[in-house]
Amino acid sequence: MAAWPHDWKDWEDLDDDQLPAYPGQLHVEMRASAYTARALELQTGISKTQINLSLKHCIEIGLARTDRKLGVPRANTKALYEFIVYGLKYVLPARAGELTRGITTGFAAPVLHKTLTSAGEHVPVWPYARGNTMGMKVEPLFKTAADAARKDPEMYALLALVDAIRLGQPRERNLAAELLQDRLESL
């Protein structure tokens, strides 16, 4: 499933030496079975320690489980979907803040922008200095979300759908929830 046209970018390109450097960042190929803490760190910019703690906690509460054959963590997509749709906006609420430059999220992101339009003048954006869109600041789920989105279009689509659920009115939330369910079922 394509998150957006491959040539669409809401940011200025950086040279390889200007990309945020994460400890031990090398050219790492992500494969379906390569969900190690190190690979996730390189993909998301979240530290290995935090990833390990999060995975352990998610397994304890049922949002993830260990794959019996491969021994790697796998998302419990049904539980994850329910948590995102019904609980996330209470645990990690999102509010539009001041006007800033950034990368579009929520209904303005490529995954939803052709389906929904805003009545307002400014769209929600994650703050990002090299972003191409001026909009209302929305704090992402994690501070490195914009960098992770630049690396992986599908991750960008998923994070934008989650933000649409956190930020949106019922119509936006329902559409984002439907699209999120479709994407989670394809994992």
- Phi, psi of 29, rounded to the nearest 5 degrees: -90, 125
Q: Judge whether 177 and 165 are in contact, CB under 8 Å.
A: yes
> 150: pLDDT confidence band, cut at 50, 70 and 90?
confident
> 103: pLDDT confidence band, cut at 50, 70 and 90?
very high
| Digit-coded pLDDT (tens) for 23-79 | 333 333 334 345 678 888 888 899 999 999 999 999 999 999 998 888 888 889 999
What is the mean pLDDT of the segment spanning 130-153? 91
Q: Judge whether 63 and 80 are in contact, CB under 8 Å.
A: yes
> 8: pLDDT confidence band, cut at 50, 70 and 90?
low
**How confident is the model at residue 99, as a pLDDT?**
95
**How confident is the model at residue 33, as a pLDDT?**
41
Q: Where are the alpha helices (DSSP H) in 101-169?
A: 145-151, 153-167
Domain ranges of the chain: 15-75, 77-187
| Digit-coded pLDDT (tens) for 157-177 | 999 999 999 998 898 899 999
**How confident is the model at residue 3, as a pLDDT?**
47
Task: Please report, as a single letter, which amino acid is at residue 156.
Answer: Y
What is the mean pLDDT of the segment spanning 101-109? 92
Q: Judge whether 146 and 126 are in contact, CB under 8 Å.
A: yes
